[in-house]
Amino acid sequence: TIGSSNSYVLDSNLPALTKTPKRTRRSPSGAAKRTPLWDDNGVAALFRLRYKSQLSARFYSKNNADKKTAYVMLAAELSVATEKEYSVAQVQDKDSLRRLLNSLRI
């Protein structure tokens, strides 16, 4: 087209583009920190529910969604049995620790 140019005019009314800082993963300031909940009774209840209850068969499923559901159910049952709040992550961490210790035994 006649009279068009490829030069661009900066509008001084627009805000300057700046990099926004990356957000860090922090828990909200009002959130309670994770406290150690594992005592002898909690560990015993975890292993009893995990290996000697009706839930144990669910952990051998080939379907990962079924295994995830089993961990949710295990955390709920453990919380009821011990009257303490356990998350799925805490239960999985404890179970993976047990597997690690068993693999190290000679």
> pLDDT tens across 68-79, in order?
999 999 999 999
pLDDT at 29 exceeding the cut of 80: no
Give the span between the Cα atoms of 47 and 45, in whole angstroms.
6
Output the pLDDT for position 76: 96
Q: From 14, 27, 77, select the one nearest 51 (Cα to Cα).
A: 77
CA distances to 11, 46, 61, 76 from 51, rounded to whole Å, are 68, 8, 14, 16
81 or 8, higher pLDDT: 81
Where do the domains of the chain lie?
40-104
Given this model, what pLDDT does residue 5 score?
56
